[in-house]
Structure 1
């Protein structure tokens, strides 16, 4: 089934659908770094299909450049990444490029649209920071751009992902408008607040997953119940070599020998190149705080409040609010939600191993989000963290896509 991914980001949602056997026609995304990541992922899948994955490994090991990598891939495959802001002005150009991609497919129709508009306007953090509570933010209405693609391509189904705040944004009026406009377009919709941990992701991450389907189909929102065992953080990081802050392993065959591999989704069994195990350098004050946070957790199973730190370590003047400035990723449990703020600092994502004394690496953050180790995030460390924090966990996407596939197939192609 042909799929279009809108507001694609680094491609977490489409990665899951792709691994479940869907055909991704196009990714539409405006962020330059994310688009490079998407093209690199297309290169990975193409080289894998022609049994030349060693060339992709050469790229990760810095033996060839990105330009050389892309030169090995047909243009029409790289062109499936449409780097553009989704807007009224760009809509004709984007749809023309999608149509061009469809023209080379055996089936010329779009079966499913996936994606979710940027969620900052609906997030609790964004609303708290804005004096107008994001009421005037134009991102409140990007869902209308999503609907334009639904109307243009008339997919059989669509999957719309967003933060829980969309349910209450503007006193629920955003959701009501979304429902009304989609109903007028010929679709039933239903939604649930789903948690990534229930899909096997080592992270407590709640998101609204809205499913829409053409009114001609008799469809009911599934329960999505799986017999799943979640990998605790200690096992998730088990085969990664220990690092101190400011150090890295990037593009080397340096997994820990004889260490248990987390699972085959995170690290495919034949994968040997460890990339982007890159850590931040921290100042001495933060390192001292990180050390105390981990010690206190190990001893008392409790996070330290900012005002509980030794006075000499409290460098912020405001000691009455925002006391949960530091959090760790617990070794024996799963992570709290990874968000894009991880690109700014690592204080919410302290590594549980006191001897490493640092925040988590890019690869560790990617694993918490369930990205496979062969997934490479382009540009800077900051850009990689941002892409990871904004993504839909691929394992969650994969299990949703796999669960839906026989149901949709039976409805659409009985």
Structure 2
């Protein structure tokens, strides 16, 4: 397989965990993210480069291409102008598909991509005469919580196949009370309970390695990302008023910022606190800032504040909510690692997709029940 716009390797992590998938090339433009990928999956096949700088002759054949090209820039794909900077990255993705000739390609993108003009133009390329005319497209939304990830992260997934129609995978988990016999969604408790309430440090270890001929901080194992911050007294006072599932609307007037006081609706997850018994909301790149979303630790007791954990989640906790294993290694600064975590495809979601593709790639789809729930490492090995 080839991983394009690979980031830190969340999608590759899931495919490798599914077994029988071997990465033969990854391409990532961000140095720290490429270093993280290389630290986990090998530097020899990792290309720290602009995808446009990879020559056609360097593109290996592959059974599968995975990746999530940025949504911006695809709107002018139909112009067939390969030099248009707005569509360069999408053109490059398609160039890789045409030269690697994969049997299947997977595109992951934000949920709004499904209803965008960009996606409409992608569909036009599988029609006769299009750049991808030999492929059949299936697309829709997948919710990470439906596949064992303790996070309500909704994404558009596109499966392009030249070996016959491949539907999207069916959920392996369901909300509590839903019909059927699937395991219930995992709440944050599955991965956060038992971790130290007070991080022992506010900094990553002072370690460095060389990657692609340059020095970079790391490699840090995921538990080493359990670092704290220095909130102001005002922030602490705000945190203490927020119950699980609550947010800025739970604050007394004297603790509201002017913009919150004047904006009575919207941004309901701002200064929000997670709940133990429910998946988190989407983990974004600035999860360490509660003013950006529902990122306060779920532990809270109204009548016993000393038992509350009044802080945002740590990098370690965010990585766990994304379903990264503790053995995963990270490179870069605190801000860069946070970006890698927030931008990643949850490995357990990618693993579910990888398992789903196997019978089609192995020519056994007519003999295999691909809707069968797959093993979940959170179910099988509770934290």
Q: 1:318 to 1:176 in 2, by over 3 A?
A: same
Match of 2:189 in 1: 234
Match of 1:85 in 2: 50
Q: How does 1:67-216 map to 2 (within 5 A)?
A: 77-87=42-52, 90-92=53-55, 95-99=56-60, 109-119=61-71, 142-169=89-116, 173-183=117-127, 184=130, 185=132, 186-214=134-162
Q: 1:264-292 CA distances to partner (integer Å, 9 max, x unpaired)?
A: xxxxxxxx983211122211111111111
Match of 1:338 in 2: 283
- Cα distance in 1 for residues equivalent to 2:183 and 2:320: 17
2:276 is the counterpart of 1:328: no
2:35 is the counterpart of 1:19: no
Displacement of 1:328 after TM fit?
Answer: 1.4
- Cα distance in 2 for residues equivalent to 1:331 and 1:338: 16
Displacement of 1:400 after TM fit?
Answer: 1.2
Q: 1:274 to 1:166 in 2, by over 3 A?
A: closer
Q: 1:283 to 1:121 in 2, by over 3 A?
A: farther
Q: How does 1:241-390 map to 2 (within 5 A)?
A: 241-243=196-198, 247=202, 274-294=223-243, 297=244, 302-305=246-249, 309-317=251-259, 319-321=261-263, 324=268, 325-342=270-287, 347-348=292-293, 349-354=295-300, 355-390=308-343
State the aligned residue count.
318
Q: 1:240-278 CA distances to partner (integer Å, 9 max, x unpaired)?
A: 122169647979xxxxxxxxxxxxxxxxxxxx9832111
The SS at the match of 1:293 is: coil
Is the CA contact 1:199–1:228 (under 8 Å) kept in the aligned structure 2? no
The SS at the match of 1:403 is: helix
Displacement of 1:235 after TM fit?
Answer: 3.0
The SS at the match of 2:11 is: helix
- Cα distance in 2 for residues equivalent to 1:278 and 1:140: 39
Is the CA contact 1:278–1:381 (under 8 Å) kept in the aligned structure 2? no
Long gaps (5+) in structure 2? 75-83, 173-181, 207-220, 301-307, 368-383
Is the CA contact 1:162–1:209 (under 8 Å) kept in the aligned structure 2? yes
Match of 2:38 in 1: 39
Structure 1 consecutive aligned stretches of length 4 or more whose deviation exceeds 6 Å? 248-251
Is the CA contact 1:275–1:376 (under 8 Å) kept in the aligned structure 2? no
Is the CA contact 2:141–2:156 (under 8 Å) kept in the aligned structure 1? yes
- Cα distance in 2 for residues equivalent to 1:28 and 1:249: 26
More helix as a share of residues: 1
TM-score (norm 1): 0.70
The SS at the match of 2:355 is: helix
- Cα distance in 2 for residues equivalent to 1:119 and 1:141: 11
- Cα distance in 2 for residues equivalent to 1:241 and 1:165: 37
Q: RMSD of the alignment, in Å?
A: 2.8
Displacement of 1:146 after TM fit?
Answer: 1.0
The SS at the match of 2:230 is: coil
The SS at the match of 2:140 is: strand
The SS at the match of 2:6 is: coil
The SS at the match of 1:9 is: coil
Displacement of 1:313 after TM fit?
Answer: 2.1
Is the CA contact 1:203–1:335 (under 8 Å) kept in the aligned structure 2? yes
Displacement of 1:179 after TM fit?
Answer: 1.4
Match of 1:29 in 2: 28
- Cα distance in 2 for residues equivalent to 1:138 and 1:353: 47
Is the CA contact 2:3–2:25 (under 8 Å) kept in the aligned structure 1? yes
Is the CA contact 2:287–2:313 (under 8 Å) kept in the aligned structure 1? no
Q: 1:317 to 1:246 in 2, by over 3 A?
A: farther
The SS at the match of 1:281 is: coil
